[in-house]
Amino acid sequence: MAIQYDDSSSSDVGRIIQVVEGRRTAQGFITTTSFTNIGLSATITPKSGTSKILVSFNSGIGSNNNGNRIVIRISRTGNDNVYVGDAAGNRTRSSVGTVASSNGENCANVSCVFVDSPTTTSAITYQMQGKLQSTSGTGMVNKNGEDNDNSIEGRSASSIVLMEIAAT
Protein backbone atom coordinates (compact mmCIF):
# COMPACT_ATOMS: atom_id res chain seq x y z
CA MET A 1 0.00 0.00 0.00
CA ALA A 2 1.55 3.27 -1.08
CA ILE A 3 1.56 6.23 1.26
CA GLN A 4 0.28 9.43 -0.34
CA TYR A 5 2.10 12.66 0.53
CA ASP A 6 0.91 16.27 0.53
CA ASP A 7 2.80 16.92 -2.73
CA SER A 8 0.68 14.18 -4.45
CA SER A 9 3.63 11.78 -4.65
CA SER A 10 3.49 8.27 -3.22
CA SER A 11 5.92 5.99 -1.45
CA ASP A 12 7.44 3.71 -4.02
CA VAL A 13 9.38 0.71 -2.77
CA GLY A 14 12.77 1.79 -1.44
CA ARG A 15 11.80 5.42 -0.83
CA ILE A 16 12.94 6.90 2.47
CA ILE A 17 9.78 7.89 4.32
CA GLN A 18 11.31 9.47 7.43
CA VAL A 19 14.61 9.80 9.28
CA VAL A 20 15.05 10.01 13.06
CA GLU A 21 18.33 10.56 14.92
CA GLY A 22 19.38 10.10 18.52
CA ARG A 23 22.63 11.65 19.71
CA ARG A 24 24.77 11.44 22.83
CA THR A 25 27.59 13.92 23.29
CA ALA A 26 28.04 13.48 27.04
CA GLN A 27 30.43 10.92 28.45
CA GLY A 28 29.00 7.82 30.12
CA PHE A 29 29.92 4.61 31.87
CA ILE A 30 29.21 0.89 31.61
CA THR A 31 29.57 -0.65 35.07
CA THR A 32 27.66 -3.96 35.15
CA THR A 33 27.99 -7.48 33.77
CA SER A 34 24.37 -7.37 32.58
CA PHE A 35 23.22 -5.42 29.54
CA THR A 36 22.21 -1.89 30.47
CA ASN A 37 21.20 1.13 28.40
CA ILE A 38 24.05 3.57 27.77
CA GLY A 39 21.93 6.62 26.99
CA LEU A 40 21.84 6.37 23.19
CA SER A 41 18.39 5.77 21.72
CA ALA A 42 15.94 6.91 19.07
CA THR A 43 12.21 6.35 18.65
CA ILE A 44 10.38 6.05 15.34
CA THR A 45 6.70 5.55 14.52
CA PRO A 46 6.49 3.75 11.16
CA LYS A 47 3.89 5.09 8.72
CA SER A 48 3.26 1.58 7.38
CA GLY A 49 3.36 -1.88 8.95
CA THR A 50 5.27 -3.22 5.93
CA SER A 51 8.08 -0.65 6.14
CA LYS A 52 11.67 -1.62 6.82
CA ILE A 53 13.80 0.33 9.31
CA LEU A 54 17.45 0.91 8.45
CA VAL A 55 19.30 1.17 11.79
CA SER A 56 22.77 2.71 11.93
CA PHE A 57 24.75 3.46 15.07
CA ASN A 58 28.22 4.67 15.91
CA SER A 59 29.90 5.17 19.29
CA GLY A 60 33.31 5.51 20.92
CA ILE A 61 33.89 2.85 23.61
CA GLY A 62 36.88 2.68 25.96
CA SER A 63 37.88 0.92 29.18
CA ASN A 64 39.94 1.87 32.23
CA ASN A 65 41.01 -1.73 32.81
CA ASN A 66 43.47 -3.40 30.46
CA GLY A 67 41.81 -6.41 28.90
CA ASN A 68 38.30 -5.87 30.30
CA ARG A 69 36.00 -6.78 27.43
CA ILE A 70 32.86 -4.80 26.62
CA VAL A 71 29.94 -6.28 24.70
CA ILE A 72 27.53 -4.05 22.75
CA ARG A 73 24.07 -4.76 21.36
CA ILE A 74 21.11 -2.87 19.94
CA SER A 75 17.73 -3.65 21.45
CA ARG A 76 14.31 -2.73 20.12
CA THR A 77 11.09 -2.26 22.09
CA GLY A 78 10.05 -5.81 22.99
CA ASN A 79 13.08 -7.51 21.40
CA ASP A 80 16.53 -7.50 23.01
CA ASN A 81 17.87 -9.76 20.26
CA VAL A 82 16.75 -7.72 17.25
CA TYR A 83 20.23 -7.93 15.68
CA VAL A 84 22.66 -10.29 17.38
CA GLY A 85 24.79 -13.28 16.47
CA ASP A 86 23.62 -16.87 16.86
CA ALA A 87 23.67 -18.55 20.27
CA ALA A 88 26.72 -20.75 20.87
CA GLY A 89 27.45 -22.24 24.29
CA ASN A 90 28.08 -19.57 26.94
CA ARG A 91 29.00 -16.87 24.45
CA THR A 92 27.15 -13.56 24.72
CA ARG A 93 25.00 -12.68 21.72
CA SER A 94 25.97 -9.19 20.56
CA SER A 95 25.39 -6.75 17.70
CA VAL A 96 29.10 -6.06 17.18
CA GLY A 97 32.28 -7.88 18.11
CA THR A 98 33.61 -7.63 21.64
CA VAL A 99 35.52 -4.43 22.39
CA ALA A 100 38.74 -5.16 24.28
CA SER A 101 41.08 -2.36 25.28
CA SER A 102 44.75 -3.24 25.59
CA ASN A 103 45.32 -0.10 27.63
CA GLY A 104 43.32 2.79 29.02
CA GLU A 105 44.37 5.13 26.20
CA ASN A 106 42.22 3.48 23.54
CA CYS A 107 38.72 4.44 22.47
CA ALA A 108 37.37 2.01 19.87
CA ASN A 109 34.95 3.12 17.18
CA VAL A 110 31.96 0.79 17.36
CA SER A 111 29.48 0.90 14.48
CA CYS A 112 26.82 -1.24 12.88
CA VAL A 113 24.17 -1.00 10.16
CA PHE A 114 21.25 -3.39 9.67
CA VAL A 115 17.69 -3.53 8.33
CA ASP A 116 14.83 -4.45 10.65
CA SER A 117 11.23 -5.44 9.84
CA PRO A 118 9.18 -4.45 12.91
CA THR A 119 5.72 -4.94 11.25
CA THR A 120 4.04 -2.22 13.32
CA THR A 121 2.79 1.34 13.11
CA SER A 122 3.29 1.87 16.85
CA ALA A 123 6.24 3.83 18.23
CA ILE A 124 9.37 1.68 18.63
CA THR A 125 12.60 2.59 20.37
CA TYR A 126 16.04 1.30 19.41
CA GLN A 127 18.74 1.69 22.04
CA MET A 128 22.38 0.81 22.46
CA GLN A 129 23.23 -1.39 25.44
CA GLY A 130 26.55 -2.50 26.89
CA LYS A 131 27.91 -4.90 29.49
CA LEU A 132 31.30 -5.72 30.97
CA GLN A 133 33.13 -9.03 31.11
CA SER A 134 33.91 -8.35 34.77
CA THR A 135 33.30 -5.53 37.23
CA SER A 136 37.04 -5.03 37.81
CA GLY A 137 36.91 -1.98 35.57
CA THR A 138 34.57 0.48 33.91
CA GLY A 139 33.51 0.80 30.30
CA MET A 140 33.58 4.32 28.92
CA VAL A 141 31.23 5.89 26.39
CA ASN A 142 32.58 8.73 24.20
CA LYS A 143 36.01 8.74 25.86
CA ASN A 144 38.98 6.52 26.58
CA GLY A 145 39.74 4.94 29.93
CA GLU A 146 42.43 7.31 31.12
CA ASP A 147 40.68 10.52 30.03
CA ASN A 148 43.70 12.69 30.80
CA ASP A 149 43.18 16.44 30.49
CA ASN A 150 45.46 17.21 27.55
CA SER A 151 45.08 18.17 23.91
CA ILE A 152 45.75 14.68 22.54
CA GLU A 153 42.91 13.06 24.51
CA GLY A 154 39.69 13.11 22.50
CA ARG A 155 36.05 13.19 23.44
CA SER A 156 33.68 11.71 20.89
CA ALA A 157 29.95 11.69 20.18
CA SER A 158 27.60 8.79 19.55
CA SER A 159 24.61 8.62 17.23
CA ILE A 160 21.86 6.29 16.14
CA VAL A 161 19.98 6.95 12.90
CA LEU A 162 16.70 5.29 11.97
CA MET A 163 15.38 5.47 8.40
CA GLU A 164 11.95 4.17 7.50
CA ILE A 165 12.03 2.65 4.01
CA ALA A 166 8.91 1.87 1.98
CA ALA A 167 8.80 -1.89 1.34
CA THR A 168 5.57 -2.88 -0.41
d(CA 168, CA 4) in angstroms, rounded, equals 13
pLDDT score at 145: 74
d(CA 86, CA 83) in angstroms, rounded, equals 10
pLDDT score at 139: 84
pLDDT score at 2: 61
d(CA 15, CA 148) in angstroms, rounded, equals 46
Which of 163, 95, 155 has the alpha carbon at shortest distance from 129?
95
pLDDT score at 21: 98
The list of the chain residues with pLDDT below 70 reads 1-11, 66-67, 101-104
pLDDT score at 108: 83
